[in-house]
Amino acid sequence: MRIDVLTLFPEILEPVLKESLLGKAIEEELLEIVLTNPRDFTQDRHRTVDDTPYGGGAGMVMKCEPLFAAIESLKDRNSLKRVIHLSPRGRRLDQDLVKELAQEKDLVLLCSRYEGVDERVVEGIVTDEVSIGDYVLSGGEVPALVLIEAISRMLPGVIGDWESVETDSFFNGLLGIAQYTRPQTFREMSVPDVLMSGHHEAIRRWRRKEALRVTLQRRPDLIDKLVLTKEDNELLAELEAERSRTEKEIQP
């Protein structure tokens, strides 16, 4: 997959793209990231990329000309690309959208700064707007990194152990469960017995039940989206039975 990123601050992305899983994916050519600075597409002496908003008000707006020129310089190569503007007004990013975008051959990510881009950029070239959540950031660069990292994990070959992707929270629709490693007892806190039992089937069932328990407790909205198996329904019934039992215990 190739991702073109349009940003006034390529220095924000560069170091992150060099490290760890992303760095390896790029090195192994499973992913190609090209950073383009719209400032390089300005025509004036001051390389102006922003201007004051018509109608007045605070802040600056990113100008049309450098953005159209920059995006058109990429589109020459392939006109079918999705152009994604990272914007607080966009569709909230979730794993379903990540999976959908990971199917594309090419993407263009547009990072804005200041109060955003001239609306004619959105009307003229942007195909999708994506937000990473309901909080205020200073621009689209960190959201673009979030999106790139999430997409990269869905690309074939990037994660060696595909099982760890499939069992991941949000891939399978459930939150992750508690994890333990050695020592078996630390400051009088012990690892659950079942994990030490060596009974693989018992461990698998226990883990599924714990995943359902923690998800039911913290994110019941995720349970509503699940396709439940027969076993899931049994486990949920067990959890419900445990719950009504403890409820009785705390009654007078």
Three-class DSSP category at 20: helix
Output the smallest distance, CB 131 to ligand 21W, in A. Answer: 4
Residue count, binding to ligand 21W (CB under 6 A): 16
CB 79 within 8 A of CB 118: no
CB 25 within 8 A of CB 31: yes
Q: Which of residues 144-183 bind ligand 21W (CB under 6 A)?
A: none
CB 166 within 8 A of CB 172: yes
- Among 133, 157, 160, 192, contact with ligand 21W (rule: CB under 6 A): 133
Which CB, 110 or 235, lies closer to ligand 21W? 110
Residue positions counted in the chain: 252
242 is catalytic: no
Give me the phi and psi of 100, to 5 degrees please: -65, -45
- Among 117, 121, 126, 132, contact with ligand 21W (rule: CB under 6 A): 132
CB 13 within 8 A of CB 36: no
231 is catalytic: no
- Please list, in sequence order, all residues whose beta carbon lies within 8 angstroms of the beta carbon of residue 199, skipping any fewer than 6 positions away: none
Interaction of residue 65 with ligand 21W, rule CB under 6 A: no
Q: From the candidates 115, 129, 232, 234, give the one annotated as an active-site residue.
A: 115
153 is catalytic: yes
- Give the residues lining the site for ligand 21W (CB under 6 A): 86-88, 112, 115-116, 131-133, 135-140, 143
Active site residues: 88, 115, 153, 168
